[in-house]
Amino acid sequence: EPEVTQTPSHQVTQMGQEVILRCVPISNHLYFYWYRQILGQKVEFLVSFYNNEISEKSEIFDDQFSVERPDGSNFTLKIRSTKLEDSAMYFCASSVAGGRTEAFFGQGTRLTVV
C-alpha cells in the first residue's frame, strides 16, 4: 500500500541551527502539506504546496520556514535558526487533490531543539 515516508524519524539540533525535514509523498498525489504537533497538543497546519508553489500557509509558517520540492519525489521543510519552541513532531501529508480530498500522513519527524 502506498504511503508517505519521512526522514529522519528523530532529529536533535542545537538552538540556532538549520534543519531540513524530508518527505516522500505518495507518488500520484499532487498536494503536499506540513503539519506540526507540539507534545500533547493538537495537529496544526503549517503549509500546503501545489504545482511547485505554496498554496496556503498558516500564521505559524513565518520567514523561519521554507518548503521545497527539489525533485520529482521529495518534499522538504527547512527551519532556519531553530528555537526551543520549534521542538515538536512534524508531519508531512499528501492528497490526490486539494480541498475536498483526504490527506494521508507520514509517521512524522520528532524534532528536539536543545
Partner 1 sequence: GQQLNQSPQSMFIQEGEDVSMNCTSSSIFNTWLWYKQDPGEGPVLLIALYKAGELTSNGRLTAQFGITRKDSFLNISASIPSDVGIYFCAGLGDLYNNNDMRFGAGTRLTVKP
Distance of closest approach, residue 56 Cβ to partner 1, in angstroms = 5
Contact yes or no for 92/4 (Cβ under 8 A) = yes
Torsion (CA) 82, 74, 71, 30 in degrees, nearest 10: -110
Which residue in the set 7, 11, 66, 105 belongs to the binding site for partner 1 (CB under 8 A)? Answer: 105
Which residue in the set 55, 74, 81, 112 belongs to the binding site for partner 1 (CB under 8 A)? Answer: 55
13 vs 105, beta carbon nearer partner 1 = 105
Burial, 5: exposed, middle or buried (Cβ in 10 Å; 0-12, 13-18, 19+)?
middle
Q: Give the count of residues interacting with partner 1 (CB under 8 A).
A: 30
d(CA 98, CA 50): 9
Site for partner 1 in 63-102 (CB under 8 A): 91, 93, 97-102
Position 45 contacts partner 1 (CB under 8 A): yes
- Closest-CA residue to 67 (of 20, 17, 105): 20
- Binding residues (CB under 8 A) for partner 1: these are 4, 31, 33, 35, 41-45, 48, 50, 55-56, 58-59, 91, 93, 97-108, 110
